[in-house]
Amino acid sequence: MFPQPRAFLKVSLLLLPLAVGLATGGCAVGPDVVRADAPAPADWTQWRGGDASLNSGVGAQPLQPAWWTQLSDPILDELQQRALRASPDLRTAALHYAQARAQRSTVAAQRGVAVTASAGASKQRQSENGAATRMLDILSNDSDALKQLLAEPFNLYQAGFDASWELDLWGRVRRSIEAADAGVAQQAALLDLARLSITSEVARSYVQLRSAQRQIALAREDIAALEERSSLLQARVDGGLQDHLDLDRQQADLAAVRARLPGLLAEEASSGNQLALLLGEHPGALRAQLAAPAVEHDDALPDLSLGLPSEVAQRRPDIRAAQARLQQATANIGVAQADLYPSIRLGAKFGYESYLSGEFSDWGSRTWSVGPVLNLPLFDHGRRKSVVQLRELQQQEAAVAYQKTVLQAWQEIDNALNAYAAAQQQRAQLRMREQATLDAYRIAQARNDAGLIDFLTLLDARRSYLQTRRDLVDCEALLRAQFIAVNKALGNAPYPEG
């Protein structure tokens, strides 16, 4: 004998507190998500692969998120702000972050009660020979009239609501939320990585453009000086005071400098177009702005501010993203393991149903049901266990990837610091060489004018001085590029606007 509806409802209500207790206090299967701390040296003099002479200029002052302002170039500052607002890559990363947050909200909604309401009105007709009329044939010999009556079309009005709630006995929902939280953290780290990459690429392209412009200015200055010098030599050759040897050498030098100019112009255009792409502009959109001369600074860049080595793991976006992937993979193991166990869903339904429109709202037209639904997995050819094994292997892969990311991060930092220190030392030596070759060129020019040395000696002195100037311009660009690389290696991402 089945229990009466009221008794069954009382039993269900008595069991509800027990079910809630099991759902809130039940165990969560699978390993707990823990934060992996990346190893770090005690100070910046350790974990270095270069010579001790490359360890100079390293401090532990707090980092400046807007690190490009240390280059003291207002045009670069404006370009960076525009890139942070308009970069297509940055907007894509921001959309991925928003999607991860929306996915987290979707997953978190599983721990609440789902309530749906429904209503409908339909015209129906039952079959005279269907399963519902079979009992009439058994009970009555003359059931045709009753069948025709039951088969007449009628209106059916329905309205009500359903409520259901899955008891999170094994922590499936909790592990799913942990995985979703890790997904949000991963996309947040990738968004910071996009900001860092955009600002680094803008600064690098800008440095390349300014270096090309300085090389172009040097080439045109050389061309003008060589043309003037060739005119003087041509006049002396025409007057019979000198043979063609010095003139031919001068013209060959002039042709060599002219041959370098088209490549420098193409490099300038390429860097300008790269900047336009990073800012979401068409080629040539920044030409007028970039034609303005840059502010020249002869003083050295400030000493590096690196912060504490232990802060690198919390600052580098790629390490944070790898850490979040490991946490997500760990939580997914619990989700897969929870599917191995039974699940219980509590459901309740209440509504009204009537084929008479005038009696639809009567209390006698009510319908209801309440009770749990048990889902017990029995046999699936090992599919669920295979999913658990797959999630465990994915966690091991994420752990290996995290270790590799940390090691690669410290390698990039060491390489960037060594290259920056080497560029600083190289620039100091080139400045000394520039002054020495300039003094030698002036002395040679004075002696040539006095007839004490031949023109070939003067030409060699001039070539040495011009080559030093070109090398110094390249070294200045390299030094700034290495300054950019250091900040990128440290994960010095700018703060988002607002």
Residue 455 is predicted with a pLDDT of 72
Among left, alpha and beta (phi > 0; psi -120 to 50; other), residue 167 is: beta
Residue 62: inside a domain: yes
Classify residue 348: in a domain, yes or no: no
DSSP-derived letter for residue 242 is S
Cβ neighbour number for residue 235 with a 10 Å cutoff: 11
Mean pLDDT of 224-240: 78
| DSSP state string for 319-347 | HHHHHHHHHHHHHHHHHHHHTTS-EEEEE
Residues 357, 453, single domain; the answer is no
Q: What is the DSSP letter of 300?
A: P
468 neighbors 460 (Cβ within 8 angstroms): no
Nearest to 90 by CA among 277, 315, 321: 277
Q: Look up tokens 């370098």; give the residue.
A: 260
Q: Is residue 147 located within the same domain as residue 17?
A: yes
pLDDT of residue 395: 94
| Neighbouring-strand partners of residue 115 | 163
CATH number of the CATH domain containing 240 = 1.20.1600.10
Residues 283, 372 share a domain: no
Residue 132 has pLDDT above 80, yes or no: no
In this prediction, residue 161 has a pLDDT band, given cuts at 50, 70 and 90, of confident
Q: How far is CA 488 from CA 65, 315, 400, 436, in A?
A: 11, 11, 23, 36
DSSP conformation letters of 426-455 = HHHHHHHHHHHHHHHHHHHHHHHHTTSS-H
What amino acid is encoded at 304 in this protein? L
**Alpha carbon 98 to its chain's center:** 12
- Please give the tally of structural domains in the chain: 2
What's this model's pTM, rounded to 2 decimal places?
0.81
The per-residue pLDDT for range 266-287, each reduced to its tens digit, is 999 999 999 999 998 999 888 8
Select the highest-mean-pLDDT range: 134-148, 274-288, 455-469: 274-288
Do 470 and 364 reside in the same domain of the chain?
Answer: no
Asked if the structure places residue 495 within a domain, the reply is no
Cβ atoms of 82 and 290 within 8 Å: the answer is no
pLDDT at 12: 46
Could you give the 3-state DSSP secondary structure of residue 154?
A: strand
- Six-digit token string for 416: 């960037």
Q: Rounded to whole angstroms, how far apart are CA atoms 88 and 93?
A: 9
Does 256 map to a domain? yes
- The verdict on 326 and 430 lying in the same domain is yes
Considering the domain architecture, whether residues 83 and 150 belong to the same structural domain is answered as no
Tell me the HSE value of 438 on the side-chain side, using a 13 A CA sphere. 7
The tokens of 339 are what?
């599917």
Query: Is 85 inside a domain boundary?
Result: yes
Please, what's the largest Cα pairwise distance for the chain? 143
* Site of tokens 């700034």: 480
Q: What does the pLDDT read at residue 300?
A: 61
Which residue range is the domain that position 122 belongs to?
A: 1-30+117-167+353-376
Does 330 score more than 90 pLDDT?
Answer: yes
What is the per-residue pLDDT across 87-127, written as a single tens digit (0 to 9) for each? Answer: 889 999 999 999 999 999 999 888 888 888 888 888 888 77
Give the helix, strand, coil percentages of the chain, each rounded to 5: 65, 10, 25
403 and 448 inside one domain:
yes
**Does 496 reside within a domain?**
no
Q: CA 83, CA 389: separation in Å to the nearest integer?
A: 44
**Hey, what are 252's tokens?**
């060959």
How high is the mean pLDDT of the chain? 84
| 3-state SS assignment for residue 12 | helix
Rounded to an integer, what distance in angstroms lies between the CA atom of residue 396 and that of residue 330?
9
Per-residue confidence (pLDDT) for residue 15, from 0 to 100: 46
For residue range 398-441, list pLDDT tens digits in order: 999 999 999 999 999 889 889 988 998 899 999 999 999 999 99
CB-side exposure of 80: number of CA atoms within 13 Å? 28
Let me know whether 163 and 176 are in one domain. Answer: no
Q: Are 328 and 179 in contact (CB under 8 A)?
A: yes
Q: Tell me whether residue 451 is in a domain.
A: yes
